[in-house]
């Protein structure tokens, strides 16, 4: 098995970028992960269209930055832990359940009740404790664009109705 394989993620972009925006794996714009590391037989367009239908009536979800922490087996991943409100957990659950029932495979163990909303601290930016965020969209990210596991690309964004 190669070091990299096709995977996608769904995030809320705090630092909004246009469709097609490509960046390095260590240069993420500020975001909150909603559903991480999955693959599906659908094309990116089909995935966005199907998720758009699922999320057609989705209202924006409010959350706030609770604290800074270090995650990972070696505690070397700096994150800002978000308030995983019931509405945010439901958004995560609805998306993951829909994708799994549609044949998607997830490569992440932090799903459903193990999901903790967070924003990874970036080299150039981080959320400050107390910052309020309105999650009003989800963006599909290609974690392996052009067969390059060191890059990421925004494939499309689904805006929620406000």
What ranges do the domains of the chain cover? Answer: 8-159
CATH fold group of domain 8-159: Cyclic Phosphodiesterase; Chain: A, (3.90.1140)
Q: How far apart are CA 26 and CA 90, in angstroms?
A: 29
* Mean pLDDT, residues 108-113 taken together: 84
124 pLDDT band, cuts 50/70/90, is confident
Q: How far apart are CA 59 and CA 5, in angstroms?
A: 33
pTM: 0.92
For the record, the structure tokens of 11 come out as: 């995030």
3-class DSSP state of 82: strand
Average pLDDT, the chain: 93
């Amino acid at each position: 098995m190669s070091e990299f394989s096709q995977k996608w993620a769904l995030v809320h972009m705090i630092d909004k970028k246009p469709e097609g925006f490509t960046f390095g794996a260590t240069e993420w714009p500020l975001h909150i992960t909603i559903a991480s590391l999955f693959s599906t037989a659908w094309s990116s367009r089909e995935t966005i269209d199907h998720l758009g239908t699922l999320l057609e009536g989705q209202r924006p979800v409010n959350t706030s930055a609770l604290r800074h922490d270090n995650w990972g087996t070696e505690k070397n991943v700096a994150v800002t832990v978000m308030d995983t409100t019931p509405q945010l957990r439901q958004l995560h659950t609805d998306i993951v359940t829909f994708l799994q029932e549609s044949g998607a495979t997830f490569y992440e163990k932090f799903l459903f009740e193990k999901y903790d909303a967070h924003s990874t601290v970036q080299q150039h930016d981080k959320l400050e404790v107390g910052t309020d965020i309105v999650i009003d969209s989800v963006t599909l990210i290609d974690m392996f664009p052009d067969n390059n596991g060191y890059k990421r690309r925004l494939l499309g964004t689904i805006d929620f109705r406000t």
